[in-house]
Amino acid sequence: MPVTVRADLASLPDYIAGRKVPGAVILSSNELSGPPPEAILAAVAEAAADVNRYPAMGADDLLDKTAEHFGLDRPRLAVGCGSVSLCQQLVQATCEPGDEVIFGWRSFEAYPIVTQIAMATGVRVPLTPAQGLDLEGMLAAVTDRTRLLFVSNPNNPTGTALRTAELTAFLDRVPENVLVVLDEAYREFVTDEDVPDGFTFLDRQNVAVLRTFSKAYALAGIRLGFLAASLDVAAGVRKVGIPFSVNRIAQAAGIAAMAATPELLARCAEVTAERTRVHDALLEMGYDVPASQANFVWLPLGEKTAEFNEHCLDQRVVIRAFAGEGVRATVGLPAENDAFLAAAKSFQH
């Protein structure tokens, strides 16, 4: 008999990465436009000189710096190969086959993938008509098999965000044996003061917070993220992680990025100013665009999604299309945003 793999993998959805077209304006992956600060590049070069040696398996220096920088308890932290790796580790650490993981849909496309890989069952809760997470629907979906609940705030790909009162009320009603994961990959782009910092909820034993260095910290190519959670959850996440998955270069880059925070946050402020300009321009063109608290905008185009995407490609602008639903366009540099707006304006919608 030939070697076989798990039959259920045939139905595993593919993770669709943003396209890269040489010479085009790339607004498909929510990356921070422009190169990293020189201090980060210098740290990467220095670390690269020792790539013949294994990295520190416990990432001790990185964890020390992360705890200090964000004001968190070091034993409650875990680092991973991007926050998406930590998503998978969370499911593996909390779920047995058949257990349920709830998430909004559409939301981060890795959620159903990492859930199925861990042989858990994904439960998708449709978004509200305003393109936000349906917290009441998520609560109604909780069963005695529910172990984990992903809350992307701001939500990817719609950019919509939950406010303090509604998120607090939601957390008050989630059963204490269900882990709520606040995925805050775009936290640094939030300008609404009523969108809470997930770290303020860490006094709850059933809350975990995910952050990434891929977006605001300009390290998408490095793959680095971290988790803050209870002692037991953080320990479980570390236990199921692949040894040495956070490599030597990533550890050095993360430390340097935190040291360069003022420069990087200044770039984020430029992005959020451009986000307002892009959002307002699209509204003037007649597009339905929900207010975004991330570094991208969402156009719920439905059946016109594919046509709009092809039109942008013809204009040498690469965005991220979700078939039959809408498109997500990263907010880049002013000239890049101008190219996207020109494409959007010339589209017959």
Alpha-carbon distances, residue 34 vs 42, 206, 271 (angstroms) = 16, 38, 11
Buried b / exposed e over 299-325, threshold 16 CB at 10 Å, is bbbeebbeebbebbbebebbbbbbeeb
According to CATH, where is 3.40.640.10 located in the chain? 38-259
Contact 257, 219 (CB under 8 A): yes
- Helical spans, DSSP H, in the chain: 38-48, 60-70, 83-94, 110-117, 135-140, 164-173, 231-240, 248-259, 261-284, 305-314, 334-345
Report the C-alpha gap between 165 and 131 in whole angstroms.
19
Contact 210, 181 (CB under 8 A): yes
Report the C-alpha gap between 12 and 35 in whole angstroms.
35
Environment class of 330 (CB within 10 Å of its CB; exposed 0-12, middle 13-18, buried 19+): buried
| Nearest partner of 6 among 97, 84, 90, judged by Cα | 97
CATH code assigned to 38-259? 3.40.640.10
SS3 76: helix
Under 8 Å CB-to-CB from 205, ≥6 apart: which residues? 176, 230
Report the C-alpha gap between 135 and 173 in whole angstroms.
10
Report the C-alpha gap between 166 and 171 in whole angstroms.
9
For the chain, what percentages of helix, strand and coil (3-state, to nearest 5) are there? 40, 15, 45
Q: What is the mean pLDDT of each run of 10 residues along the chain (349 residues)?
A: 85 74 90 95 97 95 98 98 97 97 97 96 98 98 98 98 98 98 98 98 98 97 97 98 96 98 97 98 98 98 97 96 97 98 93
According to CATH, where is 3.90.1150.10 located in the chain? 7-30+262-345
Q: What is the DSSP string of 267-315?
A: HHHHHHHHHHHHHHHHHHTT------SSSEEEE--GGGHHHHHHHHHHT
Residue 349 pLDDT:
73
Buried b / exposed e over 234-249, threshold 16 CB at 10 Å, is bebbbeebeeebbbbb
Mean pLDDT (the chain) is 96
Residue 15 pLDDT:
73
Q: What is the DSSP string of 114-132?
A: HHHHTT-EEEEEEPPTTSS
Q: Which CATH architecture has domain 7-30+262-345?
A: Alpha-Beta Complex (3.90)
- The residue with tokens 């190969």 is 81
Q: How far out from the chain centre does Cα 154 lie? A: 9
Residue 19 pLDDT:
67
| Nearest partner of 346 among 307, 319, 320, judged by Cα | 307
Write the DSSP symbol of residue 334: H
